[in-house]
Amino acid sequence: MKAIKSIIIISLFFFVNSCNNNSKYVYDSGLIHGTIYHITYRSDGEQDLKQEIEKCMHNFDKSLSTYDPNSIISKVNKNDTSVILDYHFKTVFKKAIEVSEKTDGTFDITVAPLVNAWGFGFEKMSNVNSTVIDSLLQYVGYHKVKLVNNKIIKQNSNIMLDANAIAKGYSVDVVSDFLEKKGIKNYLVEIGGEVKAKGVNKEKEIWRVGIDKPIDDSTLSSKVLEDIVYLKNQAIATSGNYRRFYIKNGIKYSHTINPKTGFPVNHSLLSASVFADDCMTADAYATAFMVLGLEKSIKIVENSPNLEAYFIYSNKKGELKIYCTDKVKNIIIKSKN
């Protein structure tokens, strides 16, 4: 399962076309959730909504940031019985359980102890070995937590939640919903690589986003696009093991942790980009697919009418190959220039 996904700087890179000086499009950017955000929207009177947008995102952190000791999720992890769950927390928790059930538990919000042990979480890294992992697995399993009467009920008090593999996508949805309530019909919201777009850009064209070639680079200095796609009234989220990893004793450890085995995944699927109506759903499935691997992920996508996917994988010869659904094939822009 992927941890601190919010600090992966851009699994995909988006394009905003320039236009004439009479444009009413506003461009805002900054830092949030430990990553970078870029938001472009058509605003009547060129009103800049940056302060209100950032307020939305900061309120979101108060609910779901494991790095804020006073957030709702942090209080749940500390078994604070006085904590009051808000709409954001309950929305993300319910979606996490839904995706867990549909992916045979490969997406799991209770993965926090494992994520921390491998050094990708909100606590200091442990000296990891099989014995340590075995001792932690008893506290992992989405079926061990329930939402009952606005309270999180745990089977064991040592169970902790980590929403980082879904929260950033949901944050994109929160900002998008805010813009729509303001009457904005044309926008692109990107937070740490997760994107949702509606309407058209400055040149009255459908928004375009790029999908990264999965090149190992934990310094985030390398970026090569594999493809560019149109994004029309839809969200896309990408997960991969080529940005967030470390090498110890010659072994690469990725941030995607399998909640069933307790160990980082190591298979041929290098990058999973998922298209959905909302970014929270796309984000969660992108994480789950990186755990499941190529073949099982394809089966789920084929049986999920509301999901589309673009997978980059390595064949037996070590060559990069692409699998994408038919609808995605139709939105790929042939020229990358």
CA distances from 208 to 77, 113, 286, 294 (A): 39, 38, 20, 25
Copy the structure tokens of residue 8: 């992966």
Quote the pLDDT of residue 43. 87
Q: Which range has the worst mean pLDDT, 94-98, 212-216, 225-229? A: 212-216
Query: Can you point out the beta strands (E) in 142-268?
Result: 145-148, 151-154, 187-191, 194-198, 207-212, 225-231, 234-240, 245-248, 251-254
Placement of tokens 């594999």 in the chain: 226
- Residues with Cβ within 8 Å of residue 49, at least 6 apart in sequence: 26, 28, 41, 43, 178, 179, 182
Quote the pLDDT of residue 37. 95
Copy the structure tokens of residue 274: 């998922």
Copy the structure tokens of residue 315: 């064949």
The mean of the pLDDT values for the chain is 86
Instruction: List, for residues 140-168, the tens digit of each pLDDT value.
Output: 999 999 999 999 999 999 999 999 999 99
CA distances from 31 to 36, 118, 191, 235, 240 (A): 5, 26, 9, 21, 21
pTM for the model stands at: 0.87
Model confidence at 255, pLDDT cuts 50, 70, 90, reads: low
Per CATH, which fold does 5-79+164-333 belong to? Answer: T-fold (3.10.520)
Quote the pLDDT of residue 117. 86
- Residues forming beta bridges with residue 227, ordered by sequence position: 211
**Nearest Cα residue to 114 out of 226, 2, 19:** 2
Element (H, E) at 28: strand 25-32
d(CA 198, CA 202): 12
Domain boundaries, the chain: 5-79+164-333
The pLDDT > 90 percentage for the chain reads 68
Q: Return the exposure string of 78-110: e unless at least 16 CB atoms fall within 10 Å of the residue's CB, then b.
A: eeeeebebeebbebbbebbbebbebbebbbbbb
Q: SS3 for 116?
A: helix
Average pLDDT on 310-329 reads 92
d(CA 329, CA 337): 18
CA distances from 98 to 94, 237, 305 (A): 6, 18, 16
The pLDDT > 70 percentage for the chain reads 83
Give the DSSP per-residue string, 1-15.
Answer: -B-SGGGS--SEEEE
Q: Which range has the worst mean pLDDT, 132-146, 159-173, 240-254? A: 240-254
Find out whether 168 and 33 touch, Cβ atoms under 8 Å.
yes
Average pLDDT on 188-211 reads 95
